[in-house]
């Protein structure tokens, strides 16, 4: 019996339990828990759920995110001052309940001073919550979310409204508020959305339940205070039994899903190994071998049928012209060429031939000369055919299609509004050149730019 089948057996037994009993307690608190603890794969999967918030609270990137939120609040507060805050206080003439670490009824000037103090803010790991609806029993998140809602209300409903009423230009202030909002969305993804998807509270309740049945290392406190639950000889209320049963079933189901995902991952890894072996057998010692290895690892070949046939054709092409790749600028250029040769975009094909790039829009159609490997037009079509090229940062697209002379243009090396506009112009001009080709008219769309996100979308019709 494998791991998944054993979990399914536990799932069936827990599902069939209709009332609390010592057998039910032992099944969950001893048999199931020990089974999870004895298997590294299951134990790691369990910790992925139960310890998620604990892990990210210590993660440097998450700590940096919290610091960034504080810095952005200070940036927004920099658009006002003590005098303006005093004016707003006179207008509203009321106190407010603070949601920061400093609690109580405070005036706006008092709140303003606390907002500037980094120690006034709750951070993940400050476990002080007794609020109903808390997502985790061990790592509290509600005080953090509520405090930032409080800060957002101060910025928008007090300071911003006052500035608008006075007729001030608020564009930059609103940009700071928007930046704050975007960071809060990132925070919510990690401390609210993910814990819900991972069923953290169910995993925590499962730990507590099991620790009350049998003393567990690190959770002795729950065993010592078993009076939190009715004695085992006295059946708990039906509602409580159903809640614990439900949590146990969620834990089992999530662990089964983790096992399935891991099996799929192992399968894909094995498939990649087979593909790499096939590449080595057909192309070992060629400039394309390393490039194809990387493509396989990055899942760029998963959609290709008959890989062996494609690689045989590539080998024949290479044997017929040993000098075909000699002029490629670098290994990266070699990667791009390899990617093009074996990849299909619907019925569109792009092949390097006679030191040029050739495009065919449909099977049996005319081959269109795009110029040499190092031209913008060739690189642009290559970019459009990439699976993930639907919407990309303007800077990334430019980096992909740039040519040698661009490195000498100092304006293009800077991260400035002017550099952004120059890169947009180069992208537009490159697509314009392609659209002038008789067989490409109407087949390639004009680039669509989003100046807010600084992204561009370019596709074939």
Domain segments of the chain as ranges: 3-50+200-265, 56-197, 285-342
Rounded alpha-carbon distances, angstroms, from residue 375 to 25, 236, 391: 71, 75, 22
Question: How does 147-160 read in b/e, with b if 16+ C-beta sit within 10 Å?
Answer: bbebbbebbeebbb
Cβ proximity of 47 and 37 under 8 Å: no
Q: How far is CA 247 from the centre of its chain?
A: 27
At 51, list the tokens: 């310890």
Contacts 24+ apart (CB under 8 A), 172-176: 172/79, 173/76, 173/79, 176/72, 176/75, 176/76, 176/79
**Could you tell me the sign of the dihedral formed by the alpha carbons of 410, 413, 415, 416, in that order?**
positive
pLDDT bin (cut points 50, 70, 90) of residue 334 is very low
Q: How far apart are CA 80 and CA 109, in angstroms?
A: 12
The pLDDT score that the predictor gives to residue 227 is: 44
- Smallest CA-to-CA distance from 245 within 211, 276, 205 is with 205
pLDDT in tens, 186-235: 999 999 999 999 999 999 989 888 888 887 776 665 555 444 444 444 44
Find the mean pLDDT for residues 28-33: 91
Q: Is 268 helix (H, G, I), strand (E, B) or coil?
A: helix
pLDDT above 80 (res 307): no
pLDDT bin (cut points 50, 70, 90) of residue 126 is confident
The pLDDT score that the predictor gives to residue 347 is: 61
pLDDT above 50 (res 132): yes
pLDDT above 60 (res 446): yes
Q: How far apart are CA 111 and CA 154, in angstroms?
A: 9
Find the mean pLDDT for residues 168-193: 93
pLDDT in tens, 340-368: 444 434 467 777 677 777 887 777 778 88
pTM as predicted: 0.57
Query: Which residues, including other chains, have CB under 8 Å from residue 192's CB and lie 6 or more apart?
Result: 135, 141, 145
At 146, list the tokens: 């509520």
Q: What is the CA radius of gyration of the chain?
A: 30
pLDDT in tens, 369-394: 888 777 888 888 877 766 444 557 88
Rounded alpha-carbon distances, angstroms, from residue 206 to 38, 76, 210, 257, 269: 17, 43, 6, 17, 33
- Between CA 398 and CA 406, with CA 400 as vertex, the angle to 5 degrees is 55
> Hey, what's the torsion of the CAs at 255, 257, 263, 269, to 10 degrees?
-110
Q: How far apart are CA 36 and CA 45, in angstroms?
A: 9
Task: List the beta bridge partners of residue 359.
Answer: 350, 368
Which of residues 247 and 93 earns the better pLDDT score? 247
pLDDT above 70 (res 119): yes
């Amino acid at each position: 019996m494998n791991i998944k089948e054993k979990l399914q057996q536990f799932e069936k037994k827990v599902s069939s339990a209709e009332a609390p009993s010592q057998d039910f307690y032992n099944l969950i608190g001893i048999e199931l828990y020990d089974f999870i603890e004895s298997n590294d794969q299951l134990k790691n999967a369990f910790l992925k759920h139960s310890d998620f918030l604990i892990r990210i609270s210590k993660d440097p990137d998450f700590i940096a995110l919290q610091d960034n939120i504080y810095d952005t609040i200070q940036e927004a507060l920099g658009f006002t001052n003590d005098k303006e805050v005093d004016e707003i206080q006179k207008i509203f003439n009321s106190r407010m309940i603070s949601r920061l670490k400093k609690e109580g009824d405070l005036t706006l000037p008092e709140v303003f001073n606390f907002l500037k103090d980094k120690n006034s803010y709750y951070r993940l790991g400050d476990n002080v919550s007794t609020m109903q609806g808390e997502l985790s029993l061990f790592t509290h998140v509600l005080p953090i979310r509520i405090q930032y809602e409080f800060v957002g209300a101060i910025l928008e409903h007090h300071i911003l409204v006052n500035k608008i009423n006075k007729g001030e230009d608020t564009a930059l202030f609103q940009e700071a508020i928007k930046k704050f909002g975007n960071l809060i969305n990132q925070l919510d993804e990690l401390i609210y959305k993910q814990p819900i998807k991972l069923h953290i509270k169910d995993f925590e309740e499962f730990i507590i339940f099991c620790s009350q049945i049998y003393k567990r290392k690190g959770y002795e406190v729950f065993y010592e205070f078993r009076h939190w639950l009715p004695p085992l000889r006295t059946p708990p209320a039906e509602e409580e039994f159903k809640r614990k049963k439900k949590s146990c079933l969620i834990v089992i189901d999530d662990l089964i899903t983790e096992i399935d995902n891991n099996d799929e991952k192992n399968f894909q890894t094995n498939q990649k190994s087979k593909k790499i072996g096939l590449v080595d057998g057909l192309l070992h010692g060629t400039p394309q071998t390393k490039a194809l290895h990387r493509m396989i690892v990055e899942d760029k070949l998963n959609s290709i049928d008959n890989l062996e046939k494609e690689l045989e054709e590539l080998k024949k092409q290479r044997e017929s012209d040993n000098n075909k790749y000699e002029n490629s600028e670098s290994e990266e250029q070699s990667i791009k060429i390899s990617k093009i040769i074996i990849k299909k975009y619907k019925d569109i094909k792009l092949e390097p031939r006679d030191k040029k790039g050739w495009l065919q829009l449909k099977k049996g159609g005319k081959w269109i000369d795009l110029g040499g490997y190092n031209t913008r037009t060739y690189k642009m079509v290559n970019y459009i055919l990439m699976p993930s090229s639907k919407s990309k940062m303007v800077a990334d697209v430019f980096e992909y299609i740039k040519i040698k002379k661009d490195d000498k243009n100092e304006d293009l090396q800077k991260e400035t509004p002017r550099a952004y506009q120059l890169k947009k112009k180069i992208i537009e001009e490159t697509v314009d050149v392609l659209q002038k080709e008789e067989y490409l008219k109407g087949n390639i769309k004009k680039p669509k730019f989003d100046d807010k996100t600084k992204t561009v979308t370019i596709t074939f019709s």
